[in-house]
């Protein structure tokens, strides 16, 4: 790697959560035995978390991830009379590759990164003992039987979702679910539409790999199985719970959903109270009516939970609905490690927890192409000017995703509307600012340089002076629109001059002056609300002397009703 690439890698590692088990930060610890134990622990942890590499980094504070530099020079170090690198490699069993990178992060700030290959044929030992990372601690693998079992499964290529349910037959599947799977497969592969119609059920299921030589896999039962046939999965659980909570977080309703998930996700979706928002901050900024949640995002989050659930933990998937928030949770660690890395690489990960299930769901058009669904969720929220999804990865056995259904910070919304050229990484930083989440010093400096934030750390906030940010006030007005008072004045002056006006005349007056971000339909709705609600009902300035279908607006004379 070049020094520039190594600096970029270091910045990525620094952005990871503190308890990432395949990364360890040190300052100057030079104990050869401990370094060897970390090589074992990190290599095994990387395999357990479906990573290609693990990293042991010298020159960073563990708690703050601050780059402080190191005096450790591993290529010059020795163990006895033997070079340290050779001594470490000799005691690793099986031998794994690790590469030592020594570079300058900034002038006179030395950093060392050990880039360690994930375990391959079996768990890696150092000096005869296997180690593993548990949270931020290095432990003996033998003391954690569940991690040891899962590590061996990962090494052997074991796929829980691909296993055959020996006593299950095609009669354990729901015919309507199979038919729905065919429709979604054709939607994904329209060129095969005529061919799919010639396949019998077993041929079709073999093609999408939900059956293997006609034998029913666990994936087939999850997606297409009858409720009464779920016992074939025992002792594992196949259930999604929807829980409705009020503003005080008290449970007021719930429902449980079992296979066939390809059908029952629709029933769950109908439970969600995806209301239409009509009153948003500054009505001229935003479409007048918009749903709280994008339906595609809801389905993608649910389908991702199904695809990536660790069913061996024997838990269920949950969707908690709160007044302005949806919270999805599924068992198992987040395989890619960090959301930032997923967004940046925008490519499929090297490993999957349930390859058979995930690939089948892609073929059945249930989840986006593996690796791009999360980025698309972020982009859709950004396009709606809503807060970005929150991925809570602090727990190693669970992934929690929160989708906001309300505007948190008016300035954030205004900024996205007026400055559409912001890259997604910058939007993600601004999203952290509006949510009062920690932002690193260098990230704060970047946002401040571009005039996107104000205040002093830690009390920073998104700049409210949008016009000065864009440097194009005319464009900003076109995007943002004018205050309602301006439109009221235009209508008032028109009626004073001409006495009356029908709806077409007022549409012609206002359409070109409304924000360009609105569609024609949204502009017409805006004019309707301005006339009927604001000027007639709220302000009492005008009245309709025509009919409901053919209104004719006139000014209300002072003292008249």
Distance CA 437, CA 426 (A): 14
375: in domain: no
pTM metric for this prediction: 0.66
334: in domain: yes
- Are 463 and 494 in a shared domain? no
Within 10 Å of residue 535's Cβ, how many Cβ atoms? 23
CATH code, domain with 142: 3.30.950
- Are 464 and 540 in a shared domain? no
List the domain range (segments joined by +) for residue 111: 3-156
- Are 38 and 176 in a shared domain? no
Is residue 369 within 8 A of residue 375, CB to CB? The reply is no
Buried b (16+ CB within 10 A) or exposed e, 289-302: ebebbbeebbbbbb
Distance CA 74, CA 77 (A): 5
- Are 27 and 120 in a shared domain? yes
Contacts of residue 115, defined as CB under 8 A and 6 or more positions apart, other chains included, come to 53, 55, 98, 99, 100, 101
- Are 57 and 206 in a shared domain? no
- Are 455 and 512 in a shared domain? no
Distance CA 521, CA 143 (A): 64
The residue length of the chain stands at 561
Distance CA 419, CA 25 (A): 38
- Are 249 and 148 in a shared domain? no
pLDDT score recorded for residue 387:
93
Q: How many domains does the chain have?
A: 4
- Are 77 and 203 in a shared domain? no
- Are 514 and 427 in a shared domain? no
Distance CA 238, CA 330 (A): 12
- Are 80 and 199 in a shared domain? no
Dihedrals φ, ψ of 543, to 5°? -145, 160
* Ordered per-residue pLDDT tens for the chain, 561 residues: 888 899 999 998 998 887 789 999 998 777 999 999 999 999 999 998 888 899 999 999 888 888 999 999 999 999 989 999 999 999 999 999 999 999 999 878 999 999 999 998 899 999 999 999 998 899 999 898 878 888 888 887 889 999 999 999 999 999 999 999 999 999 999 999 999 989 999 999 999 999 999 999 999 999 999 999 999 999 999 999 999 999 999 999 999 999 999 999 999 999 999 887 764 544 444 445 678 999 999 999 999 999 999 998 899 999 999 999 999 999 988 877 778 878 877 766 656 789 999 999 999 999 876 567 889 999 999 988 889 999 998 887 899 999 999 888 888 887 887 788 888 999 999 999 999 998 988 899 999 888 898 888 888 988 875 434 443 444 444 444 456 777 888 899 899 989 999 999 999 999 888 876 678 888 898 898 899 888 988 888 999 998 878 889 999 875 444
67: in domain: yes
- Are 189 and 311 in a shared domain? yes
The 8-class DSSP code of residue 101 comes to E
pLDDT score recorded for residue 369:
65
């Amino acid at each position: 790697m070049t020094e520039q690439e190594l600096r970029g890698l270091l910045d990525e590692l620094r952005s990871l959560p503190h308890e990432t088990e395949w990364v360890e930060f040190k300052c100057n610890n030079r104990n050869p035995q401990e370094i060897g134990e970390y090589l074992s622990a990190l290599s095994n942890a990387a395999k357990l978390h479906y990573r290609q590499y693990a990293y042991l980094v010298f020159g960073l504070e563990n708690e703050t991830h601050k780059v402080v530099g190191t005096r450790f020079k591993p290529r010059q170090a020795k163990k006895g009379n033997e070079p340290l690198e050779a001594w470490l490699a000799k005691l690793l069993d099986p031998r794994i590759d690790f590469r030592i990178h020594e570079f300058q992060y900034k002038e006179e700030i030395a950093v060392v990164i050990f880039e360690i290959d994930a375990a391959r044929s079996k768990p890696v030992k150092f000096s005869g003992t296997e180690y593993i990372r548990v949270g931020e601690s290095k432990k003996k693998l033998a003391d954690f039987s569940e991690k040891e079992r899962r590590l061996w499964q990962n090494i052997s290529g074991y796929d829980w979702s691909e296993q055959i349910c020996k006593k299950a037959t095609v009669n354990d599947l729901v015919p309507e679910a199979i038919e729905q799977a065919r429709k979604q497969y054709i939607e994904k592969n329209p060129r095969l539409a005529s061919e799919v119609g010639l396949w019998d059920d077993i041929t079709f299921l073999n093609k999408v790999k939900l059956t293997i030589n006609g034998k029913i896999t666990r994936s087939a039962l999850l997606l297409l199985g009858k409720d009464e046939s779920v016992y074939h999965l025992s002792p594992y659980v196949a259930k999604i719970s929807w829980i409705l909570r009020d503003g005080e977080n008290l449970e007021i309703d719930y429902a449980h959903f079992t296979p066939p998930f390809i059908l029952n996700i629709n029933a769950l979706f109908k439970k969600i109270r995806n209301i239409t928002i009509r009153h948003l901050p500054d009505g001229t900024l935003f479409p007048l009516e918009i749903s709280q949640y994008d339906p595609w995002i809801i389905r993608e989050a649910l389908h991702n939970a199904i695809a990536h659930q660790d069913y061996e933990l024997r838990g269920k998937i949950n969707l908690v609905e709160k007044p302005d928030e949806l919270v999805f949770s599924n068992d198992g660690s987040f395989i890619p490690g960090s959301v930032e890395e997923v967004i940046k690489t925008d490519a499929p990960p090297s490993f999957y927890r349930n390859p058979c299930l995930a690939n089948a769901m892609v073929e059945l058009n249930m989840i986006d192409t593996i690796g791009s669904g999360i980025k698309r969720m972020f982009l859709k929220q950004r396009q709606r000017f809503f807060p970005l999804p929150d991925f809570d990865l602090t727990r190693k056995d669970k992934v929690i995703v929160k989708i906001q259904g309300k505007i948190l910070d008016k300035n954030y919304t205004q900024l996205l509307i007026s400055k559409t050229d912001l890259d997604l990484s910058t939007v993600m930083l601004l999203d952290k600012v509006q949510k009062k989440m920690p932002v690193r010093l260098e990230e704060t400096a970047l946002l401040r340089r571009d005039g996107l934030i104000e205040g002093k750390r830690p009390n920073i906030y998104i700049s409210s002076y949008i016009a000065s940010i864009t440097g194009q006030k005319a464009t900003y007005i076109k995007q943002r629109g004018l205050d309602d008072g301006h439109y009221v004045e235009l209508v008032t002056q028109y009626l004073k001059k001409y006495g009356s006006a029908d709806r077409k005349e007022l549409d012609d007056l206002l359409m070109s002056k409304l924000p360009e971000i609105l569609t024609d339909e949204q502009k017409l709705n805006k004019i309707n609300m301005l006339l009927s609600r604001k000027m007639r009902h709220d302000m009492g300035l005008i009245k309709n002397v025509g009919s409901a279908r053919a209104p004719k607006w006139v000014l209300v004379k002072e003292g008249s009703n």
